[in-house]
Amino acid sequence: MGIKIAVLGAASTYTPELVQGIASHRDRLPVDELMLMDINPERLETVGGLAGRILKKRAWPGRLTLSVNREQALEGATFILIQLRVGGQEARLLDETLPLEFGCIGQETTGPGGFAKALRTVPIVLDIAEDVARHSAPGAWIIDFTNPVGIVTQALLDEGHRAIGLCNSAMGFERMIGRLLNLAPEAVSLEHVGLNHLTWERAATVDGQDRLPGLLEAHGDEIAAEIGIPAELVRVLKAVPSYYLRYYYCTDEVLAEQLSGRHRSRAEEVMEIEGRLLAMYRDPALQDKPALLGQRGGAYYSEAAARLIASLLAGTGDVQAVDVRNAGGLPDLPQDAVVEVPARIDQEGAHPLALAPLAPEMAGLTQQVKAYERLTVEAAIHGDRAAALKALMANPLVPSYRTAKGLLTALLEANRQHLPRFF
């Protein structure tokens, strides 16, 4: 029996990678219909045109459809992939620059920039989820790629929706560690623990043996350079932090770098890359995702999506790192907190593996960021300014009440058109 996959936010320049990944996994994904939906008809036509050529070249047997109508896109869908960017790259540019005026790091998923993105995004995704309940197939799964994934998934699950959050970070580490060990990535089992964009690799098991201690000893400098965190700190932690922990461990250095003006913001870089990509996508001779897409970010995005959907469909019981209810995974956090951990995937969903407690330095930061995430969900759903202020005060990257108060006023005003619940 085939399935219908609906991709919302399909005019994203990421989409050709996703489409190519679905086609490449046709043996595990018997997809009848791939529906690409977006509110931007011109970009959708451009991205959808390349998607069609990619599928045609691979003699993909399913049906590709495009729509600007959400209800039509969701009708009968079995899996709904959400990859939105509310406000586009222009809003991202604000997220990366406005916090700098208050002496805070500017980043699109972490710190006050990530907070603003969550306020814009959570209500839209929850509206979509309500439409999924009304129009999609019984038992349909929402797979959320939309950042900040942890906050969005927390909101979806708190509101009773059938959802799993997904990030490509763990797959990137699988490949890096596999390469350093001269092994295929699938031969390495990682203990990937924490919250979305706040994770550590605590173990790298091969044939029942943890190879991480030896790996840190032999390749600690190389790993540290790749994640932008000092090698001596990586060895002290005895774990591999995600790149995003750089914002917490090296706050002063990152902030000084951002304030120096020596580099363009990532939003500006992505705007340029996207313009070039869309020009390429319009070429009727192009039948594959271009190499330039690798500079856009989101490596292994399609692989992560295809693997998760295939395992949910077949109930294979394999282990993947996903964002899901804690439910006995990490003893340091409440059962209903959304965490990013290894989970066993079957047709009923993702079931976290039972994990050892976090080390104190990891647990303290994780608990504080989870408090910030939950306050942000409350603020986003209700347009609650008091909850929003408390969320910023709980964020480790906002130094004081006075900063949080001024920053909140500025963020809300700058995003006014996207935040009707606050106005």
- Return the active site residues: 244
Please give the Cα distance from 161 to 35 (Å, whole number): 21
Tokens read off for 144: 């959320």
Q: Pairing state of beta strands 198-206 and 63-67?
A: unpaired
Which among 119, 121, 148 is positioned nearest to 412, based on CA atoms? 119
Alpha helices in 189-290 (DSSP H): 212-227, 231-237, 246-249, 251-260, 266-281
Q: Pairing state of beta strands 209-210 and 240-241?
A: unpaired
Per the CB < 8 A criterion, the answer to whether 359 and 332 are in contact is no
End-to-end CA distance of the chain: 47
DSSP single-letter state for residue 98: G
Alpha helices in 334-420 (DSSP H): 360-382, 385-394, 401-414
**Biggest distance spanned by C-alpha atoms of the chain:** 59
Which stretches of 24-147 are assigned E, i.e. beta strand? Answer: 31-37, 63-67, 79-82, 141-144
Coil, strand or helix: which one is 35?
A: strand
Residues contacting 388, CB < 8 A, separation 6+: 115, 119, 375, 376, 379, 408, 412, 422
Please give the Cα distance from 10 to 41 (Å, whole number): 10
**Cross-strand bridge partners of residue 118:** none
What are the φ/ψ torsions at residue 383 (nearest 5 degrees)?
60, 40
Tokens read off for 413: 């005003």
Per the CB < 8 A criterion, the answer to whether 413 and 105 are in contact is no
Secondary structure (DSSP) of 272-320: HHHHHHHHHHT-TT--S--GGGGGGS-TTHHHHHHHHHHHHHHT---EE
Per the CB < 8 A criterion, the answer to whether 375 and 390 are in contact is yes
